[in-house]
Structures are given as structure tokens and as C-alpha cells.
Amino acid sequence: MPEEICDVSGCKNPVKRSLSRKKVSEALPELKFKNESRRAHLCKEHYKEYKKKTKKERELERLGWE
């Protein structure tokens, strides 16, 4: 089975995580994707970027503040 690659246009790194495309697009609107599926398959570098952008939001969710 071939290894999946990151869905971000121009990226050829292997996939680390699969997330909701809607959430990724809200956090990182500058990213362009290769296809239009519901899930965004992100490599380690793009996943790290997503985590940095959503850190405050995720922290508030854990505390129950939404």
C-alpha cells in the first residue's frame, strides 16, 4: 500500500494526522488543498502549524469556556 502524502498543495511529506477540513481551513485559511474531501490529511509540519494556531482555542475548550 503506498504511503499517503499531505493534502496541502506543493507538500510531498507523509501524513501524520487526519483532521476536519473545515477546522483546518478556519485556522489556516492560507493553505490550499489538492482535493475537496471532508478530511484534511496533514504532514508533521502542517499539523504543528495547525496546533500552534489553535492552541488558545483548544485550551479554552479543555477548561469548558467554549
Say what the pLDDT of residue 1 is.
63
Residue 27 burial by Cβ neighbours in a 10 Å radius (0-12, 13-18, 19+): middle
Q: pLDDT digits over 8-37, tens only?
A: 999 999 999 999 999 999 999 999 998 888
Query: What share of the chain has pLDDT > 90, as a percent?
Result: 79
Q: pLDDT digits over 31-59, tens only?
A: 999 888 899 999 999 999 999 999 999 99
Domain-wise residue ranges, the chain:
15-63
How many of the other CB atoms lie within 10 Å of CB of 18? 15
**Over 70: is that where the pLDDT of 66 sits?**
no
**Rounded to two decimals, what is the model's pTM?**
0.85
